[in-house]
């Protein structure tokens, strides 16, 4: 090998050793500070909403108790806006009737960002409602779902009358009747007021449907990551009574 080639080869070897030593030093520094390459964990907008399913239910019912006794909290809506502009992490999802007398945010004494509410006359589950609740559980990490019926539900009452009279309601109302009919039929063999019983049966059937709908909700229920419960709102008192 000529002197020029030998010199060039030596310089290349030195350059390679220097590069390898630099790389080794970088790896060592990462070993000393593990996780340096990991993305920072983003804090939830409302840390107080990170709850277990049981704790979420307890908080929901305590809020209802305050509402019943007229002791609702005062919320600083103005200063919540900045935190909530970055996201949401509600501690409960509510499937409620669209009845104007029922306001889940009020009856559970909650602030913005606390409850994820889906409303439809008759508080029943369809594909759109189901997808929305799956989003709450899968993406927003919501630990609790409540199906909330109420006394004197017009949608349930209309279904009972339609079945009794054998009539078809106008417009798109038959879709409500079809969704609520299983609850009315389940209540027909029970003693007591048919409307009251059908309202409770409607809540129970939709709780069961949500619990057993895969793949998302049934998996989260099975892993005890969420609870699905039912309740009936009392119009005169504002009390929400849980349905077994």
If one compares 85 and 38, the residue with the highest pLDDT of the two is 85
Q: Residue 226's pLDDT is what?
A: 98
Residue 228 has pLDDT above 50, yes or no: yes
Q: Residue 42's pLDDT is what?
A: 78
The average confidence (pLDDT) of the chain is 87
Which residues, in sequence order, are CB contacts of 73 under 8 Å at separation 6+? 66, 109, 111
HEC states along 121-190?
A: CCCCCCHHHHHHHHHHHHCCCCCEEEEEEECCCHHHHHHHHHHHHCCCCCCCHHHHHHHHHHHHHHHCCC
What percent of the chain is modeled with pLDDT above 90?
76
Residue 14 has pLDDT above 70, yes or no: no
Residue 28 has pLDDT above 50, yes or no: no
Q: Other C-beta atoms within 10 Å of 10: how many?
A: 10
Confidence of residue 78 (pLDDT cuts 50, 70, 90): confident
């Amino acid at each position: 090998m000529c002197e020029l080639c030998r010199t060039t080869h030596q310089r290349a070897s030195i350059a390679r050793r220097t590069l390898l030593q630099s790389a080794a030093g970088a790896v060592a520094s990462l070993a000393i500070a593990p996780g340096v390459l990991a993305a920072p964990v983003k804090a939830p907008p409302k840390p107080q909403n990170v709850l277990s399913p049981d704790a979420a239910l307890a908080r929901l019912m305590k809020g209802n108790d305050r509402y019943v006794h007229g002791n609702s909290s005062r919320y600083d809506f103005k200063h919540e806006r900045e935190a909530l502009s970055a996201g949401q992490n509600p501690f409960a999802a509510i499937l409620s009737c669209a009845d104007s007398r029922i306001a889940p945010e009020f009856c559970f004494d909650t602030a913005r960002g606390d409850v994820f509410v889906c409303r439809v006359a008759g508080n029943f589950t369809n594909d759109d409602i189901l997808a929305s609740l799956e989003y709450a559980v899968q993406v927003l990490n919501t630990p609790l779902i409540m199906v909330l019926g109420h006394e004197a539900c017009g949608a349930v009452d209309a279904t009972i009358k339609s079945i009794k009279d054998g009539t078809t309601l106008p417009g798109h109302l038959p879709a409500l009747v079809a969704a609520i009919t299983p609850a009315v039929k389940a209540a027909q063999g029970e003693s007591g007021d048919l409307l009251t019983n059908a309202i409770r049966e409607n809540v129970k059937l939709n709780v069961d449907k949500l619990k057993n709908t895969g793949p998302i909700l049934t998996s989260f229920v099975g892993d005890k990551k969420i609870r699905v419960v039912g309740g009936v709102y009392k119009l005169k008192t504002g009390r929400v009574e849980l349905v077994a």
